[in-house]
A and B are shown apart, each in its own frame.
Chain A
Amino acid sequence: MTPWAPVVMFASTAGRPIAIRGGAVIAGLALPAAVLFGPQAVQPSDVARWFDHYTAFRAFLVVAAAVFAVPVLAPGLVAPGTTFCRSLPVARVQWISLTAASALAVQAPVLILFCAGGAVADAGALGCTAAAVALTLAAGLRDVQGIAAAATASIAVVVGMRSTLSAPLAVVMLGLAARVAWIRAPERAARRGNPPKLVRGPPWYALTVVHGLRLLRKDTVTLVCWVSLAVGTGLIAALVVKNRGGVAATSPGMIVLLAATLPLVLVNATTCQRVLDNERRLRWVLDVTGTSRWERHAAAAVAVSAIAVLAAALVGATAALPARWPTQTTARCLLSCTVWGVSLGLLLIALGRRFLRDRPKDVADHTLGAAVLGFTALALVALFGEEAAYAALGLAVVVTLRGCSAKERKDS
């Protein structure tokens, strides 16, 4: 075996899912980063300065960097090919080093940001700390190692990254975390836990929870991208309002709706596709258990609406709260944005049922329908302002109720 063989093998087994998910997360972060670090906004050196001065900001960055990395690293640690890697006659330290390196690579945005801000030592300490915590969480370790990782992160946060203690401690912790993650990740599936008993209650509720679990557990990266998209949209709306003379001189609610329409259509259209795909996969058990059409429609509508509410509220909150808009304006903006998100979600799921139910693989029609709906919605907001959102909600509710109460169709 050549010396590079383990590297190639690691890259093609564990590295591949990490690279795919990492790429998606970084692409999702690019938009808000472009807004934040644009020519007129924050500089990397500002971030490094705040990082040194504010404990709360240090805590936020360590937690955010670790949390973003967990769904990226987790599939890599248990990728099917890694079982073969573990069985090869290769020194374990090589795999552990590669695991640590991949965890550090996932922290590339943070490392680049701090290096650009002239804080190379901070970059190393923060990157290693976040990577260690992320690896521990990604391997599903909740016991001693998890506590140790949390303790390291806490020390780093409290004493500051430039302390002589933090950097060496973070490097050692990363090595230990990589070791336990590589060795113990395969046991994750067999480890005992107490899953929350969420899937209870009436059929529509249970099905809604299952749709939600599908989105949470299978589309984690997509959710992260949605969060980034929503935050970026909110920031753009806030900047537009600011550049046009502030809240008093503009109609902030309408600007937020205009900025949010296409991102909300994108989020809702993707959610609808995932939820309807999930419903189609579960169709056999829904048929066998006699789950009625309205229960299936209601579950899908509630699941899509929940995501729409979260995305829309995030857009509204990101636009209004940091800029400290007046309370009444903020409340009105949040309400209209949420109503707009739910309306678009309900209309898109009706559209999805039309295009995706009979021909689930024909996504092109649904995408085209979503695009038409998006641009129509944009035109409506431009013409009628926030009132368009409330009118659309009425239409969406009627369409949803009609779908729920339609005559039961016999599937063959």
Chain B
Amino acid sequence: MTDGSLLTIDSVSKRVAGIRVLSDASLTLGAGEACALVGANGAGKSTLLRIVVGVTDPDAGEIRVAGLPLRTARVAALANIGYAPEHADFPDYLRASEWLAMVEALKGLRRDPEQVRPLGLSAFAHQRLGTLSLGQRRRVALAAGLVGAPRLLVLDEPTNGLDTASLGEVARLVSTQLARGGSVLFATHDAAFAGQVGARRIRVDDGRLLEIP
């Protein structure tokens, strides 16, 4: 890390199907900091998150995670990230426990049982992912994101489909992550949740990132 930031998004641009989604977007996220991306549907929040976690490549610009450029030090950079997508294409033939075990094996890391205990996975860990409710799938996605206690958590609409109790647990997870010096970048439409976890709010508008005071 050269400038103390955990995540640096530097002048990232992206076109999808010929339409400009991100234009010269820049953002810096320090350790112990949470940042909420807000904006209209289709504004480019999820695209930006997918670029940060290496699922999609930017057309221009650079992503650095813990000082490591994603383009050239991909594996080392990704080892610092945990990702919970909004619409995960979960294989419906796997059990929740098998999915988490697979993510652990792929990352070569284990999840911290204490950290994910509030998610209440044990109640449905033996069920196939295809049979889970939306909220249960969200919790599995969050638990997979926490594998290896990553320094940067990237969450796409983390509160979608969750009941009130689970919302509180997710807020606590985010607070725990921040308290141990990690960072959280998430996209949300839930202003109350963003306020609850004390996140900086960034509006994604016309492909640019604008800080909301």
A200 to B101, CA, bound (A): 6
Within 8 A of A (CB), among B3-58: 53-57
Interface-facing stretch out of B126-134, B183-191, B199-207:
B126-134
- A38 located at the interface, meaning its Cβ lies under 8 Å from any Cβ of chain B in the complex: no
A201 contacts across to B, CB distance below 8 A: 105
The minimal Cβ–Cβ distance linking A291 to chain B, given in whole angstroms, is 5
Query: B162 in the interface, Cβ–Cβ < 8 Å?
Result: no
Report which residue of B55, B98, B105, B128 has the largest number of chain A beta carbons within 10 angstroms of its beta carbon.
B105
A364 at the B interface (CB under 8 A): no
B144: chain A residues within 8 A (beta carbon): 285
Contacts of B172 in A (CB 8 A): none
The answer to the question of A198 belonging to the interface, with a C-beta cut-off of 8 Å to chain B, is: yes
B60 to chain A, nearest CB (A): 12
Q: A290 and B55 in contact (CB under 8 A), knowing A195-B98, A278-B91?
A: no
Complex Cα distance, B10 from A9, in Å, reads: 59
- Contacts of A203 on B, CB cut-off 8 Å? 105-106, 108
Q: Is the CB of B55 within 8 A of A287?
A: yes
Contacts of A194 in B (CB 8 A): 126
Q: Which of A280-294 contact B (CB under 8 A)?
A: 281-292
Q: Does B78 contact A412, Cβ atoms closer than 8 Å?
A: no
Interface residue from A195, A198, A213, A290 paired with B78 (Cβ < 8 Å): A290
Residues 120-171 of B at the A interface (beta carbon under 8 Å):
126-128, 131, 144
Q: Is the pair B105, A285 in contact by a Cβ cutoff of 8 Å?
A: no
Q: How far is the CB of A77 from chain B (nearest CB, A)?
A: 14
Q: Is B85 an interface residue (CB 8 A)?
A: yes
Name the B residues within 8 Å of A207 (CB-CB).
Answer: 102, 105-106
Say whether A206 contacts B105, CB under 8 Å: yes
Residues of A within 8 A of B56 (CB): 412
Q: Once the chains bind, are A193 and B93 in contact (CB under 8 Å)?
A: no
Task: Find out whether the CB atom of A217 lies under 8 angstroms from the CB atom of B93.
Answer: yes
Least Cβ–Cβ distance between A266 and chain B, in angstroms: 23
CB-CB nearest in chain B for A292? B75
Taking A284-B89, A292-B75 as contacts, is the C-beta distance between A213 and B94 under 8 angstroms? Answer: yes
Known: A199-B105, A200-B105, A203-B106. A214 touches B88 (CB 8 A): no
- A407 CB–B CB distance under 8 Å: no
Contact of B103 among A195, A217, A285, A292 (CB under 8 A): A285
A205 CB within 8 Å of chain B? yes
Taking a contact as CB atoms closer than 8 A, the residue among A214, A218, A291, A411 that contacts B106 in the complex is A291
Evaluate contact between A288 and B126: CB separation under 8 angstroms: no
Q: How far is the CB of B25 from chain A (nearest CB, A)?
A: 16
Task: Chain B residues near A290: list those with CB within 8 A.
Answer: 54, 74-75, 78-79, 107
A288 and B98 in contact, given A199-B105, A217-B93, A281-B91 (Cβ under 8 angstroms): no
Q: In the complex, what residue of chain B is closest to A281 when comparing beta carbons?
A: B89
A111 to chain B, nearest CB (A): 32
The complex places the Cα of A180 from the Cα of B207 at a distance, in Å, of 57
A195/B95 in contact, CB under 8 A: yes
Known: A189-B127, A190-B127. A202 touches B105 (CB 8 A): yes
Range for the number of chain A residues in contact with chain B: 35 or more
Task: Mark contacts of A203-221 with chain B using CB atoms, 8 A cut-off: 1 yes-contact digit, 0 otherwise.
Answer: 1011101100110011000
Contact A282/B91 with A207-B102, A290-B79 known, Cβ cut-off 8 Å:
yes
Verify if A324 is at the interface (C-beta below 8 Å from B).
no
Instruction: Report if A285-B126 is in contact (Cβ < 8 Å); known contacts: A290-B74, A290-B75.
Output: no
Q: Is B63 an interface residue (CB 8 A)?
A: no
What's the nearest-Cβ distance from chain B to residue A215, in Å? 9
Query: A197 in the interface, Cβ–Cβ < 8 Å?
Result: yes
The interface residues of chain A lying within 8 Å CB-to-CB of B108 are 202-203
* CA gap between A190 and B105 in the complex, in Å: 26
Residues of A contacting B95 in the complex (Cβ-Cβ under 8 angstroms): 195
Q: What A residues does B88 contact at CB under 8 A? A: 284-285
Least CB distance from A136 to B in Å reads 20
Bound form: Cα–Cα A285–B83 in Å = 9
Q: Which among B54, B83, B102, B107 has the greatest number of chain A C-beta atoms within 10 A?
A: B102
Complex partner residue of B54 from A190, A206, A214, A288, CB under 8 angstroms:
A288
- CB of B174 closer than 8 Å to a CB of A: no
Q: Taking CB as reference atom, which chain B residue is nearest A214?
A: B93
Binary A-proximity of B104-115 (CB < 8 A = 1, otherwise 0): 011110000000
Residues in A whose Cβ lies below 8 Å from that of B74: 290
C-alpha gap A290/B85 in the complex (Å) = 16
Q: How far is the CA of A410 from the CA of B81 in the complex (A)?
A: 19
A411 — nearest CB in chain B belongs to which residue?
A: B57
Q: Is A192 an interface residue (CB 8 A)?
A: yes
Residues of A within 8 A of B78 (CB): 288-290
A290–B55 Cα distance when bound, in Å, is 10
In the bound complex, how far is the Cα of B76 from the Cα of A292, in angstroms? 12
Beta-carbon contact of B57 and A285 below 8 Å? no
CB distance from B65 to the nearest CB of A (A): 11
Given A288-B83, A410-B57, A213:B106 Cβ within 8 A: no
Point out the residues of chain B lying under 8 angstroms from A213, CB to CB. 93-94, 98
Q: Nearest 9 CB-CB pairs, A to B?
A: A206-B105, A289-B106, A217-B93, A412-B57, A199-B101, A189-B131, A290-B75, A290-B78, A199-B102
List residues of chain B with CB under 8 Å of any chain A CB.
53-57, 74-75, 78-79, 81, 83, 85, 88-89, 91, 93-95, 97-98, 101-103, 105-108, 126-128, 131, 144
Contact sample, A vs B, 13 pairs, CB 8 Å cutoff: A194-B126, A199-B98, A210-B102, A214-B93, A281-B91, A283-B55, A288-B53, A288-B54, A288-B78, A288-B83, A289-B78, A291-B106, A412-B56
